[in-house]
């Protein structure tokens, strides 16, 4: 067995865990907290509850919530200027993947300087980061436990993958109660995002027995609880299960990395500015079909984790069941099977394919991927909206 590493933050999980924010920040040695969120989260009670906990332990704070759903480079640069100007020395993110990724990016620039483009790729961070505490408010991104930050380069219109063990937060506080304020569409999109993390990390070339355990359990939980979580906003059993699924999928992909689904999604998200989870949901079945010949046995295990009856089936037949089960789940949750874009040219498609091939997630895809492969996959996903100029 090859040597592998598994990184994780301190994790505080359970109903009411949000109450641990103040004590946790004190343990990290903070004196003035830079709190990152977004307008949607601020509109609910969760940020104010976190701020109350900071007040109770006597900590000062500065709140920044100018964050979009696909966070941009200029948002990061404006936020880090505020962090430095206000004399902050620690960061708290309360929100989904976008605020958490911005918090990570601010942490990088606060101590390492430069612009966020300087850190695109793997292991570009050289100096220690300020303490980072995160409270996820969606069950999907897994950013609360990962070594990833994804930020849009607005000039190139690509999502940059920034990967470093330095980006693993110090403490992740996961409270399923916060999921009760998310609507059905966001619950579906974030849950399918977690599913794409679990499946891609399970078949990743960098997967290990430890990441496999987390990935498979995340798939089982999502198969059982995502539909009821979407159906009922106050179903705490389902919310708790989905919070755990997102956490475990995050642990899996942080350590095993991902694959072509995410390499492609990063390009489409930057171009179309749509929700990352919905993009992944559309792409995932197509990429699974492409990858099937490389990991049929693992796909058969995925089928079992999805609740499919695979007794007596060959590995290939069971793998087919896995892909069909994913398509059925996506359809049940109202996500379309393709993405409609009315003004996408063949050259746009070439650019998407070239950029996806450069994405770090391609490296661990279980099947070798060429630019033509990516072009063909993009063509299938976007076939309803591509201009016929090639």
At residue 5, the pLDDT reads 83
Burial of 346 (0-12, 13-18, 19+ CB in 10 A): middle
CATH number of the 10-179 domain: 3.40.50.1970
- pLDDT, averaged in runs of 10, over the chain (390 residues): 84 97 97 95 91 97 92 96 97 95 98 97 95 96 94 91 95 96 95 98 97 98 98 96 98 96 92 87 97 98 97 97 98 89 79 94 97 95 56
Q: What are 239-298's pLDDT values in tens digits?
A: 999 999 999 999 999 999 999 999 999 999 888 877 899 999 999 999 999 999 999 999
At residue 388, the pLDDT reads 45
**What residue segments make up the domains of the chain, in order of their start?**
10-179, 182-381
What number of CA atoms fall less than 13 Å from residue 93's CA on the CB side? Answer: 34
Q: What is the pTM of this model?
A: 0.93
Residues paired with residue 93 on neighbouring β-strands, in sequence order: 36, 134
C-beta separation of 361 from 280 below 8 A: no
Calpha distance 212→248 (Å, rounded): 10
Q: What are 109-128's pLDDT values in tens digits?
A: 999 999 999 999 999 999 99
Calpha distance 142→247 (Å, rounded): 6
At residue 192, the pLDDT reads 97
For 182-381, which CATH superfamily applies? Dehydroquinate synthase-like - alpha domain (1.20.1090.10)
At residue 274, the pLDDT reads 79
């Amino acid at each position: 067995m090859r040597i592998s590493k598994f990184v994780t933050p301190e994790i505080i999980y359970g109903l009411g865990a949000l109450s641990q924010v103040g004590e946790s920040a004190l343990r990290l040695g903070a004196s003035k907290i830079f709190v990152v969120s977004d307008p949607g989260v601020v509109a609910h009670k969760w940020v104010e509850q976190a701020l109350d906990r900071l007040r109770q332990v006597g900590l000062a704070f500065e709140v920044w919530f100018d964050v979009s759903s696909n966070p941009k480079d200029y948002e990061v640069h404006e936020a880090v200027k505020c962090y430095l100007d206000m004399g902050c020395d620690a960061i708290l993110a309360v929100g989904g993947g976008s605020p958490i990724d911005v918090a990570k990016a601010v942490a990088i620039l606060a101590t390492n300087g430069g612009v966020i483009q300087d850190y695109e790729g793997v292991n570009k961070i050289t100096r220690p980061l300020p303490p980072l505490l995160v409270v996820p408010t969606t069950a999907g991104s897994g950013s609360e436990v990962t070594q990833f930050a994804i930020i849009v380069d607005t000039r190139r219109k690509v999502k940059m993958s920034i990967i470093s063990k330095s980006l693993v937060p110090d403490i992740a506080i996961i409270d399923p109660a916060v999921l009760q304020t998310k609507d059905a569409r966001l619950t579906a999109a974030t849950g399918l995002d977690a599913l794409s993390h679990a499946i891609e990390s399970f078949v990743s070339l960098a997967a290990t027995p430890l990441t496999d355990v987390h990935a498979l359990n995340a798939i089982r939980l999502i198969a059982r609880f995502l539909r009821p979580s979407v159906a009922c906003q106050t179903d705490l059993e389902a919310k708790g299960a989905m919070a755990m699924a997102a956490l475990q999928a995050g642990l899996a992909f942080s350590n095993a990395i991902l694959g072509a689904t995410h390499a492609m999604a990063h390009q489409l998200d930057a171009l179309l500015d749509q929700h990352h989870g919905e993009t992944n949901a559309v792409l995932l079945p197509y990429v699974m079909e492409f990858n099937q010949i490389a990991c049929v046995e693992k796909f058969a295990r995925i089928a079992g984790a999805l609740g499919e009856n695979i007794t007596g089936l060959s590995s290939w037949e069971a793998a087919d069941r896995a892909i069909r089960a994913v398509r059925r789940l996506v359809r049940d949750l109202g996500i379309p099977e393709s993405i409609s874009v009315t003004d996408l040219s063949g050259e746009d498609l070439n650019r998407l394919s070239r950029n996806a091939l450069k994405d770090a997630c391609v490296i661990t895809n279980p099947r070798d991927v060429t630019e033509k492969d990516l072009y063909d996959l993009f063509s299938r996903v976007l076939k309803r909206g591509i201009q016929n100029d090639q």
